[in-house]
Structure 1
């Protein structure tokens, strides 16, 4: 959907020519989010702004859905590209409804259509239309204004969106909420998005692909997992940080490594039987007790089974933590550390036990994929266009 072909920008300064973007060539497939990542002054924002011609390229071309935009009228180009910036840029003298619908009105939409579109978008960004549409930007919090900025960019249903550090000025809690809401929208809308960020964690969370820039050059263009497992050079490796292996925990879901081999007992089982079941698994010091609906009901510890006689229903502790199949390994690791355990029961959407996840399985999975990615580093799945 978006293709950059040797896109270059050279600024003339009193001290001479400065190359801000140096022959950038890359493709972003339809419906994907591409994060432009790198240190300040590396050329990522300049590259983004050349797409909608806020910055005029010195040379090179931009193609959108296969069409060369070089000869396209600038106003037409921009009205078909959603644009969101960190400073939001809402018009203070306009209501929220007027801000959201400004591009549809410029495009000649009829009143009923653009007003309905505004209400639809407000629901999509989790703001009540009746409570907010007639307000002015000054009456909203920073996080709410940022959501309105996203809604405005989506109002005319553009196929392409450009986002320049859109959540950078928001506090961490609201930022995470807005990121999650945006990803939910993206699952339904499937826009093609170029997104500038300086936050590695945000890039990993939001991006289908990540483009790392340095001094105006595109250094590496990869899927997040490929980037973390096989950085192209020492610059990328240092930029990602020494904990890049841990960052990969965000990319793997529990369902990818869950095993259905989990020992369980029922409340009516004896403690002697519970000890036998614990020994069957060897590496665990407790066993999960489930009810008649196969839902977690408690934990029976090895120490109790060795010193006490009786039934599990009389000698169990509360389940310290559980994990869902769609949770990521970062959450699983956090729960394990917090509760000093090496395993967690996994439950499905009905709360029924469907398996377990262990520290050992997490380590093996990440280690195996890390070695595999490194071995394929010379032939990456996603390569920079030459």
Structure 2
């Protein structure tokens, strides 16, 4: 959807020519989010602004959906590209409805159409139309104004959006909320988005692809996982941070490291049958117990099953936490740390038990990137039980 071909910008100054962007070439596929990262003055904002010609390129070309924009009328080009800036730039003398409707009005939309569009977009960015349509920007918080800025950029349903540090001026709590809502909105709208950020964590969370700039040059252009796992040089490695392996936790879902088809018992099963299952599967600690709906409700310790008689429903320990298959590993790791355990039962969208996520499984999954291909990435060499590292489940869950 966006193709940049040898895009270059040279500024003439009193001290001579300064190359702000040096032969930048990259492509952003339709429906993806590309985040431009780098230190101040590296060329990322200049590159972004050359796409809609807020800054005119010295040389090179920009293609939108296969069309060379070099000869396009600047006004028409910009009306077909949504643009969001950190300072938001809402017109203070216009209502929120009027701000959102600016471009649709310029394009000749009927009043009923642009009013309806303003209402739809406010709902999409989680602002109640009945409350906010008639308000002015000065009556909104910074986070609310930023949401309106995003809505305005989407008003004419452009295929491409450019965003210049759109969440940078918002406090951390509201920033997370707006980012989450924006990603949900993107799943529905499937826009092609390029935006500038200074925050590697934001880029990892938001982007399908990340471009790292330095001194006007594009140093590395990759998926977030490949960028974190395989930084091209010392600069990129330093920029993404020493905790780059931990940052990858956000990119992996629990279902990707799930140990499936694990044994389980019901409250009506005998402790003897529970012990037999644990021995058959090499479990040295415990086995999960589920209710009639297949939902995990506790575990039966092996020490209990091997010393007394009775039924599992009479001698189980309740669970303090479970993971969802759609949880990212950052959340899973947080749950493990909070509850002092190295494994968690995992459930599907209906709460049904589907297997276990283990600390060792997470470690092996992430570590597979750095190991030769012939080394196992499963439970671990010599690990008979995926939960073999836990010796006292009573204290862990």
TM over 0.5: yes
Q: Name the counterpart of 2:336.
A: 336
Q: Name the counterpart of 1:368.
A: 368
Residues 14-63 of structure 1: per-residue CA shift (max 9 Å, x gap):
22221111110111111111110111111100110111111111111111
Q: Name the counterpart of 2:316.
A: 316
The Cα of 1:105 is off from its aligned counterpart by 0.5
SS in 2 for 1:23: strand
Q: Name the counterpart of 1:212.
A: 212
**C-alpha distance in structure 1 between counterparts of 2:115 and 2:372, whole Å:** 52
SS in 2 for 1:210: strand
Q: Show the 5 A alignment for 1:225-240.
A: 225-240=225-240
SS in 1 for 2:76: helix
Residues 220-267 of structure 1: per-residue CA shift (max 9 Å, x gap):
111111111111111111111111111111111112221223232221
**C-alpha distance in structure 1 between counterparts of 2:229 and 2:168, whole Å:** 26
Q: Name the counterpart of 1:2.
A: 2
Q: Show the 5 A alignment for 1:110-121.
A: 110-121=110-121
Q: Name the counterpart of 2:224.
A: 224
SS in 1 for 2:114: helix
Q: Name the counterpart of 1:57.
A: 57
Q: Name the counterpart of 1:376.
A: none
Q: Name the counterpart of 2:72.
A: 72
* Structure 2 residue 163 is the aligned partner of structure 1 residue 150: no
Alpha-carbon spacing, 1:342–1:278, altered in 2? closer, same or farther (3 Å): farther
SS in 2 for 1:118: helix
Residues 91-125 of structure 1: per-residue CA shift (max 9 Å, x gap):
11111100111110111111011011111111111
The Cα of 1:271 is off from its aligned counterpart by 3.5
SS in 2 for 1:188: helix
The Cα of 1:165 is off from its aligned counterpart by 0.7
RMSD of aligned residue pairs (Cα, Å): 1.7
Range moving further from structure 2, 157-166 or 258-267: 258-267
TM-score by length of 1: 0.92
The Cα of 1:306 is off from its aligned counterpart by 5.0
SS in 2 for 1:103: helix
Q: Name the counterpart of 2:132.
A: 132
**C-alpha distance in structure 2 between counterparts of 1:180 and 1:232, whole Å:** 29
The Cα of 1:85 is off from its aligned counterpart by 0.8
**C-alpha distance in structure 1 between counterparts of 2:322 and 2:174, whole Å:** 26
Alpha-carbon spacing, 1:280–1:158, altered in 2? closer, same or farther (3 Å): same
* Structure 2 residue 234 is the aligned partner of structure 1 residue 242: no
The Cα of 1:75 is off from its aligned counterpart by 1.2
**C-alpha distance in structure 1 between counterparts of 2:3 and 2:26, whole Å:** 6
Alpha-carbon spacing, 1:60–1:124, altered in 2? closer, same or farther (3 Å): same
Q: Show the 5 A alignment for 1:252-291.
A: 252-282=252-282, 285-291=285-291
Bigger relative contact order, structure 1 or 2 (CA pairs below 8 A, ≥6 apart): 1
SS in 2 for 1:231: coil
Return structure 1 stretches of 4+ with deviation > 6 angstroms. Answer: none
Residues 139-183 of structure 1: per-residue CA shift (max 9 Å, x gap):
212111111100000000111100011011111221111111111
SS in 2 for 1:41: coil
The Cα of 1:273 is off from its aligned counterpart by 3.7
**C-alpha distance in structure 1 between counterparts of 2:261 and 2:320, whole Å:** 20
**C-alpha distance in structure 1 between counterparts of 2:29 and 2:90, whole Å:** 30
Residues 52-87 of structure 1: per-residue CA shift (max 9 Å, x gap):
111111111111112221222211111111000111
SS in 1 for 2:21: strand
**C-alpha distance in structure 1 between counterparts of 2:370 and 2:187, whole Å:** 28
SS in 2 for 1:237: helix
Q: Name the counterpart of 1:141.
A: 141
Range moving further from structure 2, 293-302 or 75-84: 293-302
Which runs of no fewer than 5 residues in structure 2 stay unpaired? 374-397
The Cα of 1:307 is off from its aligned counterpart by 5.2
**C-alpha distance in structure 2 between counterparts of 1:159 and 1:187, whole Å:** 14
The Cα of 1:309 is off from its aligned counterpart by 4.4
